[in-house]
Amino acid sequence: MANIIETKSLNVGYGPIHVIYDLDFEAPEGAVTVIVGPNGVGKTTLLKAIMGLVTVYSGQVLFKGQDVTELPPYERTKMGIGYMPQVGNIFSRLSVAENLKMAAYTVDDPSLIEEKMEMIFTLFPVLKGFMHRAAGTLSGGERQMLAESMVLMRDPKVMLVDEPTAGLMPKLVTDVLKKLEEMAETTGLPIILVEQRARRALEVGDIAYMMRGGRFTFKGSAQELLNHPQLTEMYLGAIEVHELKYVRE
């Protein structure tokens, strides 16, 4: 299976603050790739590096085999990299309809915009009744649905999703992750999901990465990591990647 996104020997940071070290990452077409790990290990920074929002010291970011390391974020968006940040992902004072319209600024084809709207209403039927409501009046789960819809309006070829369940009640966590899984299954859109709630995220994933200290300590199938008897300890950094050769699905 071809990779939609790759990084090679990627070193990334914020000015002089080095966050990611020599990272090799692959996200295949048609799969949900999940990146889990505790706070502050570099998960969000990796998404920002793919999007061109942080300083790359060395290494490469590839999109569909093309080196995009030096391209600005708007060029990557036009190419088809869709990004849903954890915060600031909707315009709260605008209506739902206005948010969706704003999100489609990269799409010139009116028929494609209409097609995307129909797909969104199929995936998130609740939004259809909220088109004239201010986005800031939606519930937490509804806001996340709107944010995902805004990315879909840009006709992405891959979707980067950063901590979609942050701050949500447990029931909404399940709903949001199930909707992401449904979106992937319905559209075939590859998704790269960064999530702190490891077990729930792994349940919807195909490929899994575990991060610690700006490096990967695990790469394999989501089911393999989910079934590991010491996932909690590994999540806290007590188990390193070399010990995972004993894992069996």
Helix 110-123 and helix 140-152, axial crossing angle in degrees, nearest 10: 150
How many angstroms from the chain centroid is the CA of residue 98?
Answer: 23
Contact between 167 and 86 (Cβ < 8 Å): no
CATH T-level fold of 1-80+159-249 = Rossmann fold (3.40.50)
Query: In the chain, what are the domain boundaries?
Result: 1-80+159-249, 88-156
Beta bridge partners of 67: 62
- Record the pTM: 0.88
Tens digit of each residue's pLDDT, the chain (249 residues): 799 999 999 999 998 999 999 999 999 999 999 999 888 899 999 999 999 999 999 999 999 999 999 999 999 999 999 999 987 889 999 999 999 998 888 788 888 888 889 999 998 899 999 999 999 999 888 898 899 999 999 889 999 999 888 877 777 888 888 888 888 888 889 999 999 888 889 999 999 999 999 999 999 999 999 888 777 777 666 555 444 443 433
- Which residues, in sequence order, are CB contacts of 188 under 8 Å at separation 6+? 30
